[in-house]
Amino acid sequence: MARILMVASEGLPFIKSGGLADVIGSLPFELTKKGHEVRVVLPLYLKIAQKYHEDFTHEASYHVNINYHEVPVIVYSQMVKDVKYYFIEHQGYFERDALYGYMDDGERFAYFQKAVIELLNQLDYWPQIMHSHDWHTGMIPVLCKEAHGFDERYRSIKHVYTIHNLAFQGNFGVEMLDSCLGLDYRLFDNGNVRYDGGISFMKSGILYADKVTTVSPTYSQEILTPQFGEHLEMVLNMRRNDLWGIVNGIDVEYWNPKQDPEIPYHYNRVNVAKAKKQNKLALQKEMGLHEDEDVLLVGVVSRLTWQKGFYLLLEQLDALCALPIQLVVLGSGESAIEEKMGQLQDGNRGKIAFYCGYNEALAHRIYAACDLFFMPSLFEPCGLSQLISMRYGTLPLVRETGGLKDTVIPYNEFEKTGTGFSFANYNSNEMMDVLRLAIEVYYHRPQDWKALVRFAMSQDVSWEKSAYTYCLLYKELHL
């Protein structure tokens, strides 16, 4: 049993912009089930304040030094299923419309991390392990070891740092080292936190943590190479003996086609075929697609970015439109992709539907109604959508990279096994070949399709196994 403090920039049920929030919403509770005492710290964003503030308990009020000024910090808490969540309040920094993407993101998250470090002192709460996630929290181990290294209470904390997406690194100007973080320039001069003339939160987290993890075994190997290492492959190679790859799970209570309140027709492995057709007809009606329960309905629920492989799709638009399928896309992101998707819908009314934006309820209905889920990512640290798809009997079509490779078993036409379809190279012709294979199986080998759906739905995509592996990792540090 260990006392673990998770530090992250987002987490369910409070706030979500991507897969990190799902992890922070599930992993802490799973760890408490295994006997650990887990707490979580998050920034208090506007959307959280609007919805939850009245239920909060005040925990502490204090100041941290940012830009040579004493800046106030107020901390609240709330319990969710045996896990205590702390919220760092600063209206100027966090009560904004979006979570990230501001000019002062470096200062905002420097403040957040300093507030977290001081919180331990204020509460006289000393975790044995601090588990920090992604660039927003990369300086946590540095602050403990360098700024507070003289203090045994901080020095004895062990640090786990999890990379959810190496592409976002939190690189900022060197002046922030002193002005916002209160750290010595020595750390820049000796190279510890230096990156490309400035400082990097991500690099610092990787170097200073006692263990580094990422969210799938394949991605943990890929990031050691220049192709996936985002210029940090050398640093990661230095830490390769402490680098673990642990696949994420999903919350199988929340993502459950048997009782999902967002979907019109509930189902399990036995009645999936019939209920899926009913869900399909309902979604087709909702999204303005031709109502046809037999057509192969392909779904996408995703951030619309280059990472997710949309350029492969855009390369093959004409070929795609000629296929005997319908396509429903839910997502938002890069304006070029959003625009193209809008045009595609306009030119193919009834066949292609596009919802631009974030819509949790619609995502559930898409997972339930579709036959195939499309995820041809350029890279994918873990990916949750393919796990959700399998749980809903929607076969994922993926590129063999990162967590997609670790979690989707490709169709084997000889053994009639698999949980989806996959292709190896980032190449749109390969993608189309495997899409055509999926179409062939759907229309002409219905028994094979049925077997794949059943097999996909019986995969264990819960947190159970992953949480167990995290426990092994903590044990290595804690004993």
Footprint on this chain of ligand ADP (rule: CB under 6 A): 18-19, 22, 301-303, 330-332, 358-360, 363, 382-385, 388
The residues, ordered by sequence, that sit 6+ positions from 270 with a Cβ below 8 Å of its Cβ are none
Q: Are 302 and 367 within 8 A, CB to CB?
A: no
Closest Cα partner for 473 from 239, 213, 240? 213
Q: Buried b vs exposed e over 284-305: b needs ≥16 C-beta within 10 Å?
A: beebebeeeeebbbbbbbbbbb
CB nearer to ligand ADP: give 73 or 378.
378
Pairing of strands 243-245, 421-423: unpaired
Torsion, CA 455, CA 13, CA 16, CA 398, rounded to 10? 0
CB nearer to ligand ADP: give 26 or 84.
26
CB nearer to ligand ADP: give 66 or 382.
382
Closest CB 36 distance from ligand ADP, rounded Å: 24
What size, in residues, is the chain?
Answer: 479
Closest CB 406 distance from ligand ADP, rounded Å: 13
Closest CB 21 distance from ligand ADP, rounded Å: 8
CB nearer to ligand ADP: give 356 or 451.
356
Per DSSP, 379 falls in state -
Find tokens 């919350």 and name the residue. 251
Closest CB 316 distance from ligand ADP, rounded Å: 22
Handedness of CA 376, 381, 384, 390 (dihedral sign): positive
CB nearer to ligand ADP: give 158 or 308.
308
Closest CB 391 distance from ligand ADP, rounded Å: 11
Closest CB 386 distance from ligand ADP, rounded Å: 7
CB-closest chain residue to ligand ADP: 19
CB nearer to ligand ADP: give 183 or 301.
301
CB nearer to ligand ADP: give 75 or 388.
388
Q: Are 218 and 406 within 8 A, CB to CB?
A: yes
What does each C-alpha distance from 50 to 75, 93, 357, 399 come to in angstroms?
16, 15, 21, 40
Closest CB 364 distance from ligand ADP, rounded Å: 9
